[in-house]
Amino acid sequence: MTALLKQSKFWHSYPHCWRTKKPLIYRATNQWFISIDDKAEGAKESLRDTALNAIENVDFYPKTSKNRLKPMIEGRPDWCISRQRSWGVPIAFFRIKSTKAVIFDEDVLEHVANLFDIHGADAWYAMSNAELLPSDTKYNPDDLEKLTDILDVWFDSGSTWNSVLGSGNYDAGQYPASLYIEGSDQHRGWFQSSLLLSSAVNGISPYKTLITHGFTVDNKGEKMSKSKGNVMAPDKVIKQYGSEILRLWVALSDYQSDLKISDGILKQTAEQYRKIRNTFRFLLANVNDLEAYVANDAYGELDRWILAKAGEVFASVKSSFDEYDFLRGFATLNHFITNELSGIYMDITKDRLYCEDINDPVRRATQSAMAHISKAMLGLIAPVLTYTADEILEYASPLFKNGMENVFDLLYVPVPKIESSLDDTLLLEARVKFSEAVDKLKKEKLMKSTLEVEIVGDMSLFTIGDAKDLEDWFVVSAMKSSSEGEQVASFELEGKTYTVHKATAAKCPRCWRFTASSEDCACERCEKVVGELA
């Protein structure tokens, strides 16, 4: 008889199903495994070593995601690839009823594989043992039983590189795939199972590049949940804002971390989209009658300046896109559109576009610059704003399209390499200071347009050689060394004072510049243009 030395009671948590929230019961069963550290027949290294070596040939975005996948491969156990469910892809082996020995007969396996090609994997369940065995088999169907285990779903998804890229049923690209993209949780799932299967079969990674993104959260950074009521359904966003806004929101988000989305964020995105769209509308509307690009030496100083600036910016944007850094790429592009392109160039060239003779070399040069810029910019935004790009091509001129029928014919073509000697540092600073000075006058309703004034001061400080270009830069009627007009403002630059005066000439009814002799007649430039049109 034994004596009880100690008795105690304790409580422990019971396992629950993550989906149904119901308690689970553990049941010990035989399982199928893929060995990680054993070497296959004829292999020089284990599957673990093969997979680790394959990782070294993969480009990771972000780079830190390599430090997540690699340790998982280094420390993972053997891979259990079987599950016990009533549905799924069967592990199609027979075993002998009396001994439970599994049959690894090549003829039997090949016959079953051929049946699967014809009838699908459900043939394993629908057909009898006799039908699943070759006609000349040495096995008695009554002595065998089918395995009822199914493959782990990660085995299924991990083999997609073979079924998609190696099936031969359609042109889906080449193996290995150029890119795999999924959430950060897939380092434990799809990324890893794909890598292991490809390494086991072919000894290489199934992907050349791996992009890992975060998860969508609300504007407070909280996980979206139906119970919280903070879910932003894509179909609702598309119905309210359109698919282009949703696509642009993705491009403007830092996908490497969690992505925030809300009505406020989408409204901001819609404003950025509207800016891009309106910029294209202006550019295309003003190049519609252009039938041929001018030669590179025909561009004026302002045209050369914007083309050189666009060349630098677009090269930077493309480099960011090539590295899958869409956030930085679009930030760079939006800054250029808002400041240099729309904020300055499109504003200062309106006079030459609208008021010069239709075939004036200055106008044609500006049109050519705009056409080159819009075409290059279209190639950059097309992968994200696809429908917008297709619509632009629909309304573009024959010169612009150059044989392109739709967006799928579109290729990125950089702007011509144009050198500019224009130093815009002081010019940009002067433009800002001049704008600050006249903004006060506009607020006080002392003036409506900068064309009502002229600037007086030392013009040698600026690098623009053409007087008309300098007037266009500030959008004023004249740049002088002296003026009899009333001084209304002033600003300082590099220790020099520049004064702003009311224009002394009359307003031209055609171009609105204060360069006419009287308000009843056009200025000399406009008279000449109108006379040639008559």
User: Domain ranges in the chain?
Assistant: 23-82+151-213, 92-148, 263-409, 425-503
Mean pLDDT over residues 459-469, rounded? 88
Q: Write out the two tokens for 529.
A: 């243009």
CA–CA separation, 3 vs 165, rounded Å?
A: 69
CATH 2.60.40.1180 at 425-503, yes or no: no
Contact 145, 94 (CB under 8 A): yes
pLDDT number for residue 24: 84
Which pLDDT tens digit goes with each residue over 315-335?
Answer: 999 999 999 899 999 999 999
Which pLDDT tens digit goes with each residue over 208-229?
Answer: 999 999 888 887 888 877 777 7
Q: Write the burial class of residue 137 (CB in 10 Å: 0-12 exposed, 13-18 middle, 19+ buried).
A: middle
Q: Write out the two tokens for 335.
A: 């800054």
pLDDT number for residue 27: 80
CA–CA separation, 336 vs 169, rounded Å?
A: 45
Domain 92-148 belongs to what topology?
Arc Repressor Mutant, subunit A (1.10.10)
Residue 19: pLDDT over 90: no
Cα torsion 187, 190, 196, 198: sign: negative
Residue 2: pLDDT over 80: no
Domain 92-148 identical in fold to domain 263-409: no
Which pLDDT tens digit goes with each residue over 246-287?
Answer: 999 999 988 888 888 888 999 999 999 999 999 999 999 999
pLDDT number for residue 259: 85
CA–CA separation, 484 vs 396, rounded Å?
A: 48
How many alpha carbons fall within 13 Å on the CB side of residue 529? 18
pLDDT band at 415 (very low <50, low <70, confident <90, very high): very high
CA–CA separation, 38 vs 228, rounded Å?
A: 49
Secondary structure of residue 338 in the 3-state scheme:
helix
Q: Which residue has the higher pLDDT, 222 or 63?
A: 63
Mean pLDDT over residues 147-162, rounded? 92
Which pLDDT tens digit goes with each residue over 192-206?
Answer: 999 999 999 999 999
Selection from 287, 350, 364, 360 nearest residue 528 by Cα: 360
Q: Give the strands of the sheet with 478-480, arranged side by side.
A: 478-480, 453-456, 496-502, 487-493
CA–CA separation, 85 vs 510, rounded Å?
A: 81
Q: Write out the two tokens for 485.
A: 């007009």
CA–CA separation, 530 vs 522, rounded Å?
A: 9
Which secondary structure element, helix H or strand E, spans residue 183, and what is its range? strand 180-183
Q: Write out the two tokens for 532.
A: 């040639």
Which pLDDT tens digit goes with each residue over 28-60?
Answer: 888 999 999 998 888 889 999 999 999 999 999
Phi, psi of 187 (to 5 degrees): -65, -30
pLDDT number for residue 1: 64
CATH code that applies to domain 263-409: 1.10.730.10
Selection from 119, 196, 118, 121 nearest residue 157 by Cα: 196
Which pLDDT tens digit goes with each residue over 68-126?
Answer: 999 999 999 999 999 988 888 999 999 999 999 999 999 999 999 999 999 999 999 99
Percent of the chain with pLDDT over 70: 100
pLDDT number for residue 405: 86
Mean pLDDT over residues 413-437, rounded? 94
pLDDT number for residue 338: 96
pLDDT number for residue 534: 62
Residue 339: pLDDT over 80: yes
**Mean of the per-residue pLDDT values of the chain:** 92
**Identity of the amino acid at 366:** T
pLDDT number for residue 234: 87
Mean pLDDT over residues 230-249, rounded? 90
